[in-house]
């Protein structure tokens, strides 16, 4: 029976247009790469799901798909959800990008403020903050170059600025200061408990674009959370974490191709991606399935 379902799923033809996640404004183009990777993941994933349902047929299952920005989370999650629904396991894809505490532009500004405040505070704490250094810093900040590691070899004090700013950012990115894990955990818990209807947040890219939709979950068997931080230690109730591995350089390349954000190719963005990658790496051991960029599964 299991082999028959696997064969049916792997032979399933995926339309170019299928339901995606619930992030407003996201346009997901399903590419052959998404389909191939999703089917390869499914061949492992279904066996794990089947084991759960064999032991507990009424169980509601939560899958998380995490990885760097642009690595293919949304596309792969959409294909997996389509396949699961086709074989009788109705699925819903939840986008974690709806759950920051600030809209994207405000959060970008907050991250930059935290970095610069942390850097200047570090210089002050070392009693080396002078008017001359402040003048140089202001010029670098206006040029968006004040996170450039190469400047450590030019200005003796710059490594301390960078160290202070980076440390401050690490205490913010991916934490409850930045992201609303409480609300997400409430949703995940409600789904597990069998709530028939759940109000889900929708967040656009400006302050006037925030609302909630009531989503019917009565017949939904599997919830897929796709998000950079979907394997975070702050989340509870994830049954099957899946990690799509990539490097910060690959993530930056994806973001440039997508053109999703302004001022992408800056030293500060590179620093952000490096911090996010450190978080992903630190949580990788919890993943039940890991796939690298080439499409090879390295775990299990």
At 37, list the tokens: 């990777």
Counted domains in the chain: 2
* CATH number of the domain residue 232 falls in: 3.40.50.300
Range of the domain at 135: 104-170
* 85 and 149 belong to one structural domain: no
* 91 and 141 belong to one structural domain: no
* 55 and 119 belong to one structural domain: no
CB 71 within 8 A of CB 232: no
pTM: 0.92
198 burial via Cβ count (<10 Å: 0-12, 13-18, 19+): buried
First to last CA, the chain: 22
3-state secondary structure the chain: CHHHHHHHHHHCCCCCCCCCCCCCCCCCCCCHHHHHHHHHHHHHHHHHHHHHHHHCCCCCEEEEEEECCCCCHHHHHHHHHHHHHHCCCCEEEEEHHHCECCCHHHHHHHHHHHHHHHHHHHHHHCCCCCHHHHHHHHHHHHCCCCCCHHHHHCCCCHHHHHHHHHHHHHCCCCCCCCECHHHHHHHHHHHHCCCCEEEEEEECCCCCCEEEEEEECCCCCEEEEECCCCCCCCCCCCCEEEEECCCHHHHHHHHHHHCCCCCCCCHHHHHHHHHHHHHHHHHHHHCCEEECCCCCEEEC
Distance CA 117, CA 166 (A): 10
* 91 and 189 belong to one structural domain: yes
Query: Tell me: the pLDDT tens digits for 5-16?
Result: 888 888 999 987
| 180 occurs within a structural domain | no
Tell me which of 140, 170, 200 is where a domain ends. Answer: 170
* 88 and 204 belong to one structural domain: yes
Query: Tell me: the pLDDT tens digits for 55-76?
Result: 999 999 999 999 998 899 999 9
| 130 occurs within a structural domain | yes
* 138 and 270 belong to one structural domain: no
* 92 and 121 belong to one structural domain: no
* 90 and 111 belong to one structural domain: no
What values do phi and psi take at 33, rounded to 5? -60, -40
Tens place of pLDDT per residue across the chain (300 aa): 778 888 888 899 998 788 888 888 777 788 999 999 999 999 999 999 999 999 999 999 999 999 998 899 999 999 999 999 999 999 999 999 999 999 999 999 999 999 999 999 999 999 999 999 999 999 999 999 999 999 999 999 999 999 999 999 999 999 999 999 999 999 999 999 999 999 999 998 889 999 999 999 999 999 999 999 999 999 999 999 999 998 776 666 665 555 555 556 789 999 999 999 999 999 999 999 999 989 999 999
């Amino acid at each position: 029976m299991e082999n028959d379902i696997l064969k049916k799923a792997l032979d399933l033809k995926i339309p170019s247009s299928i339901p995606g996640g619930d992030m407003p404004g996201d346009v997901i183009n399903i590419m052959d790469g998404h389909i191939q990777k999703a089917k390869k993941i499914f061949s492992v994933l279904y066996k794990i799901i089947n084991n759960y349902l064999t032991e507990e047929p009424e169980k509601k299952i939560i899958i998380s798909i995490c990885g760097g920005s642009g690595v293919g989370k949304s596309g792969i999650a959409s294909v997996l959800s389509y396949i699961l629904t086709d074989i009788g396991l109705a699925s819903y894809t939840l986008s974690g990008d709806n759950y920051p505490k600030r809209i994207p532009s405000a959060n970008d500004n907050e991250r930059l403020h935290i970095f610069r405040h942390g850097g200047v505070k570090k210089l002050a704490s070392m009693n080396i903050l002078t008017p001359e250094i402040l003048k140089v810093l202001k010029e670098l900040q206006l040029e968006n170059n004040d996170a450039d590691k190469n400047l450590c070899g030019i200005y003796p004090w710059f490594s301390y600025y960078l160290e202070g700013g980076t440390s401050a950012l690490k205490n913010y990115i991916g934490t409850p200061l930045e992201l609303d894990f409480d609300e997400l955990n409430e949703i995940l818990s409600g789904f597990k408990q069998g709530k028939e209807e759940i109000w889900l947040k929708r967040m656009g890219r400006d302050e006037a674009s925030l609302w909630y939709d009531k989503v019917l979950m009565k017949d939904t068997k599997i919830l897929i959370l796709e998000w950079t931080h979907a394997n975070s230690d702050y989340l509870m109730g994830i049954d099957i974490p899946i990690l799509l591995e990539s490097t910060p350089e690959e993530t930056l390349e994806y973001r440039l191709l997508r053109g999703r954000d302004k001022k992408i190719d800056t030293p500060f963005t590179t620093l952000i991606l490096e911090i996010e990658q450190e978080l992903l790496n630190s949580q990788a051991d919890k993943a039940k399935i890991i796939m690298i960029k080439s499409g090879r599964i390295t775990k299990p």
